[in-house]
Amino acid sequence: MIELNLPQIIFSKVIRAVVEFELIDDGDKILIGMSGGKDSLLLAYALACLKQRTKKNFSLSALTIDPKFTDDFAEKISRAKKFCNDLNIPHEVHEVDIAALIREQGNGSPCFTCAYFRRAAMNRRANEIGANKIAYAHHLDDAVETFFMSLLSSGQLTTFQPKTFLDRTNITVIRPLVYLRESETETFAAEHSLNITKSPCPFDGSTNRQTVKNLIVELGKIFPDLFSHLATAMRKNSIGELWDAPKSRADMRAAYFALKGFDKKNKP
């Protein structure tokens, strides 16, 4: 096993997330979503470090979904497999032909299709091996981008939760890196010379999420506190003065007739 040396600032933020959102319990069997990117490598490293440095009794394993975007994926993900093995984390790769599913859907959203079938495969495998939790490497930037993207695309104030129970599969999804900035995962990867697997996604860099990521950076040049304000706005206690929910036509019918000077039974 490699010597674990997680910077204190990162370890503190992971501990904060684990404690605040009650992410890990004794006896947990946690399946890590391992893409081979900088975030999932750090997640595996942080959880291995947490297991080593705390009294929590839990086990770890990792799963990579091969979406069949490239022919050499197995070779590329071998770096992540070695990394997991060095951490004493069992790792396996499952093929899901997401590339074919995206082609079949025509003009539908490739990101939605990919995310849906990846999650389904992760949930299925977690049930098969008896894992009660799945850990994903989403960080604070991901949460803020999801929040802002939801506002722009649907007019709703929502983002993913640090901890979510999936009642259909009896699995709990946890995100221990939610207090980390992406810049911190990049710094960690560089300082530890992590052998990162580049995303095989053919749409990488041209998604709506990337557009929102770029927009936050550009707006941040004008409003320096934008990111921190968005992060604060994600909290339930941040809601200020908002309009009431819109009323239905039925709710407004009586007031409408009163305004017109008659009711439904009597003409003016």
Other Cβ atoms less than 10 A from the Cβ of 27: the count is 10
Quick one: average pLDDT of 41-55? Answer: 95
At residue 152 the predicted structure's pLDDT band, cuts being 50, 70 and 90, is: very high
5-14, 82-91, 119-128, 189-198: the lowest-pLDDT one:
189-198
Residues belonging to the chain: 268
CATH domain 8-203 topology: Rossmann fold (3.40.50)
The DSSP H or E segment spanning 174 is strand 171-174
111 pLDDT more than 90 = no
Domains of the chain, residue spans = 8-203
Q: What pLDDT is stored for residue 90 in this prediction?
A: 97
Q: Helix, strand or coil for residue 84? A: helix
Other Cβ atoms less than 10 A from the Cβ of 183: the count is 10
Candidates 209, 24, 42; CA nearest to 109 is 209
Distances in whole angstroms, Cα of residue 31 to Cα of each of 62, 89, 93, 198 = 5, 10, 12, 21
178 pLDDT more than 60 = yes
